[in-house]
Chain A
Amino acid sequence: MIDAIVSEWLKLRSLRSNLYLLAFSVLSVLLCAGLAFMVSRGIDNQTGDDRLRFDSIGSGLGAGLPVAYFVMGALGALSITSEHATGLIRTSLVAVPRRQLFLFAKIPPLVAVTLVAGQVLVFGMHFAAQAVLGDRAGQVLLDGRTLGASLTDPGVAAGLLVAGAAMPLVAMVGLGLGAVIRSTAGSMVTLIMILFVLPVVAQTLPGPWRARIGSFMMESLPDQIVAGEGAGILSPLAASAVLIAYPVVALTAGAVAIAVRGRGIRPLAVGGLVAALLAAVTVIPSSAAASALPWKPCGGDLECASVQVPVDWSKPSGRKVSIQIARLPAAGTHRRIGTVFSIPGGPGGSGIEDLKKKGGSFAELRRRFDVVSLAPRNTTDLGVIPFDCLRAGPWITVPADRAEYDSLAARNRASAEQCRKVDPEYFDHLDSGSVARDIEAIRVALEEERLSFVATSYGGVVATTYARLFPGGVRAMYIDGGVDHLADHATDLRLKSEMIEGQFTRFATWCASTATCALQGRDAGAVWRGLTAAADRSPVPVQGERVAYSGFDFKVAAAPDLISPGPAPDFANWQRFARAVDKAVQGDASGFADYVEQATESMKVPSFRGMNVTHCTDGLGFDGYQEFQRMKALGERLSPNFAGDELWHPLGCVGWPAPVTNPAAPMPADRLPPFLGAGTWTDHDITADIVMRVPGSSTVRYNGPGHGLYLSGNRCAIAHANRYLTSLRLPPRGTTCEPPAAG
């Protein structure tokens, strides 16, 4: 045995042609460098977000790996076909009459040579590609990958080692093929078919077959074995089994072919059995079995289903209500990681509507995830509580004293009762805690061990509540423009004051330099402060209506326009705000009342009952008159331009009939994975306050206006979020995204 192996080693070593063949494999390194050069040129010719659309070249092996595999396969094939071609096989078989021993003795020398050569090559390919890419390698792309991948990135070194370790397996495939085919030309053609032609053919297949067949191609297996970021649907175990099955099948065929007549049965039996066992591994489902939920198509890609939950989670066997859910199924091109659950904002928004209208934002994520969302129980248009009742509400005034506070409470309570009386039990259980428990029920119905979350705006409250109640169900948590439920009221007020003051400063700066701003030439800040202060003393009437705006009313009406200026460079909402201020200064508040009425069918912004049902039960209100007074005083100190605005939401909860069922409480940070937050000028810092409560978390700041970066399709934020959701890798703290250059 040893003698035969050493003899084969001598054979391999004593042919100069083998050395030339190995030298040829350096071509693979050049190819990788060439591809990296082309990609670099391409990306240098693009700007901004267009760069994010490039495909990652991963660790850089793509172009060269099949070439390197071919060389190793050819080395294996030639070790036997050259014996057939020259007739040496007869001499060899006289020297080693046990044919299978003769064939298998070729394996150890081939393994040794190709393993060493393979490792040198893959690292050569990697370093060549990375060297060409340079700094561009770190560019985070839309699909959550970086353009290149450095050796220190998780999984990269392992992926390279596996790709190199696959070389001996390819050599054995070549050896087996050579033993079967005997002709050098025939073996080379077959290797080219397996390594080059079939993968290309697989790419031309339609729909799911492209991924299914493509995943079984040799060159795509190493990445799947290390659960890398590339395409392929096989689990690491299944990919390993397939990779091993290739040489097992080839060598079995070779051992049968080389056997003297009638002696091929044993290798056939053994090889067949091993191949069958390996094939069985690939049949084992790669991730959790498809859930038993009866999904039905409901427009476009969307599939819908529903889950029954108790109205009152403290009475699990009590009255049930049906929660509608929808999913955008995974595309099936990559190994599925699980489910991304999108928690909508509001409160009162529908995640199903988000998927319908903004599902395109999830396109890249769907390579690896099902994307699921829900129409939460507090969605305003479900119909359990009439929509017309929820969308309206009383006008809020800032109480001047205890008596006014109490009368506000009475008004609020009476207003709330109009909706509550329809279904008091349901009305009292529209807090985020109930929604979080509903999501947990959905997780169970989805048969997912854990969920990865994309929480937008008020969805952040639901998200942190879920994380507090069910930390084990959280695989990843991305919070986008989140509402802060966890900060104490004073901190929250400070953050909101800083936010709106910062935004007012941006507005004032813009106004001073822009001809289309109605206040240009005046000190916008002084004008605004003058207007609101005067209106608080003597409200400004709306022309032709029996309605007048106090300073508080102006602030509540102005805040949305101030926060969302509209698309650059026009900033239409800022223009509208400036015009409305200009008009109000001249004694007419209709500039505000007109657009408030368009949006709410009310001359002033009403305190929406549909939001309060959740705000108030989540504990956003004051715990009493004392706290109201403290907050009011604090706001006046912190927010020269918008003091009082921050009181609007909490004042809506004064006198609320339903109890606070989901008060703020800390998350079990030690049992949670690091979070990722993302936010704009106006919501980054608040989001950061939420996510930084979990150690190791990070945020992305977008240096522009807006709210809800992911759903609104901000590619830079999506790229970082996808990278986090896919591979749980966070951008460094302080990472920023820039708006597209004006022009």
Chain B
Amino acid sequence: MIEVTGLTMRYGDALAVDDLTFAVRPGLVTGFLGPNGAGKSTTMRVILGLETPGTGTALVGGRPYGSLKEPMREVGALLDAGAVHGGRSAAAHLWCLARSNGIGRGRVGEVLEQVGLAEVADRRIAGFSLGMRQRLGIAAALLGDPDVLMFDEPVNGLDPEGIRWIRELMRLLAGEGRTVLVSSHLMGEMALTADHVVVIGRGRLIADTTMPELVERFQRGVLVRAADQRTLADVLRAGGASVGEEDGGLSVSGLDAARIGELALSRGIALRELTPRSASLEEAFMELTGESVEFGAGRAA
């Protein structure tokens, strides 16, 4: 459980986080969405005690992060895969971290195995690819077997296989009842992973909802093509829908595809196409955060 309440964070005159409140619940993968510069990383840094907020609180399991005695046993975090010393081996890096939280050496081998770095455990990190570093960062987050996990843009630099691995790992972790917060600026990625989303833009909360709800909100009606489109339009209007013409077909809203199919069948009208449409998640995301994008393409003109 992560609880962020009334969080405000300022860098000089710039307001990075503006009165942000949300909660991340256990057992779910929660996506933390927003364009670059929205304040996602700052919020996560506040949760981890790396920054002190101007006002508001960020609690993990009901306590500020800084008061945790062995924080890695309660919270695992991947903030920046580059935040390592290239001169150490993967195993040494993890062992240093583990020891600082009283975690046994055995865990180092286990997490390296878990993230698929067991074979390169004794190689210096300097020679690692970005993807390997992401895996190493995730291994570090898993060291303390924590109930709360936070990942900032974990799929950056990963190949498709790696991306799928991360998705499955998060689902697995959530499935074990853990609290999982994953930030991303890519909506599509979240659609495949997250159960719940928190969307922010310019530091403000834009949406805090389940994934299905978010999809629902951006329903765009059903595209219908039929042999007798005029009759069908009348029937559907009578059925309570609003109907418009579009691209040689009908754009129907107010009825779902199943009901449209039933009404057409009842009148013996052959359907050539019946396509429920939603805005792509990318579009929805742009729509939600459009106002808040700091350096939007429109304004750049």
Contacts and interface: CB of A to CB of B under 8 A. Distances in A.
A83 B84 CA distance: 8
A94 B85 contact: no
Q: Which of A3, A10, A88, A91 has the most CB of B within 10 A?
A: A91
B296 interface: no
A276 interface: no
B33 interface: no
Contacts of B66: 97-98, 260
Interface stretch (B71-79, B194-202, B229-237): B71-79
A83 B88 CA distance: 12
A206 interface: no
A15 B95 CA distance: 13
B169 interface: no
Given A86-B83, A86-B84, A87-B82, A94 B50 contact: yes
A317 B129 CA distance: 97
A16 interface: yes
B87 interface: yes
A712 to B, nearest CB: 67
A94 B95 contact: no
A11 interface: yes
Contacts of A87: 80, 82-84
A95 B72 contact: yes
B29 interface: no
Nearest to A9: B99
A262 B52 contact: yes
B97 A95 contact: yes
A93 to B, nearest CB: 6
Given A94-B50, A262-B52, A88 B85 contact: yes
B17 interface: no
A91 B83 contact: yes
Interface in A72-115: 82-83, 86-98
A407 interface: no
A87 B93 CA distance: 13
Interface string B233-259: 000000000000000000000000000
What range describes how many residues of B lie at the interface? Answer: 20 to 34
A11 B97 CA distance: 9
Given A87-B82, A87-B84, A90-B79, A95 B52 contact: no
B209 to A, nearest CB: 29
Contacts of A3: 70, 99-102
Interface in A250-288: 260-262
A7 interface: yes
Given A87-B82, A90-B50, A95 B87 contact: no
B84 A88 contact: yes
Contacts of B70: 3
B85 A16 contact: no
Contacts of B48: 94, 97
A262 B53 CA distance: 12
Q: Which of B51, B70, B72, B85 has the most CB of A within 10 A?
A: B85
Given A90-B83, A97-B66, A7 B50 contact: no
Nearest to B92: A14
Contacts, number: 86
What range describes how many residues of A lie at the interface? Answer: 20 to 34
Contacts of B36: none
Contacts of B83: 86-91
Contacts of A93: 49-50
Given A83-B85, A86-B85, A262-B52, A14 B96 contact: yes
Interface in A194-244: none
A260 B53 CA distance: 10
A3 B99 CA distance: 6
Q: Which of B48, B50, B72 has the most CB of A within 10 A?
A: B50
B140 interface: yes
A291 interface: no
Nearest to B137: A91
A17 interface: yes
A416 B189 CA distance: 123
A86 B48 CA distance: 19
B147 to A, nearest CB: 16
Q: Which of A11, A83, A93, A261 has the most CB of B within 10 A?
A: A11
Contacts of A86: 82-86
Given A3-B100, A7-B97, A15 B85 contact: yes
A298 B31 CA distance: 90
A3 to B, nearest CB: 5
A312 B189 CA distance: 110
Contacts of B151: none
Q: Which 7 pairs, one residue from A and one from B, show the smallest C-beta to C-beta distance? A: A7-B100, A87-B83, A14-B92, A7-B99, A91-B83, A90-B83, A97-B66
Interface of B: 48-52, 65-66, 68, 70-72, 77, 79-80, 82-89, 92-93, 95-97, 99-102, 140
Given A15-B88, A16-B87, 12 more contacts: A3-B70, A3-B101, A10-B96, A14-B95, A14-B96, A86-B85, A87-B82, A87-B83, A88-B84, A89-B83, A92-B97, A95-B100
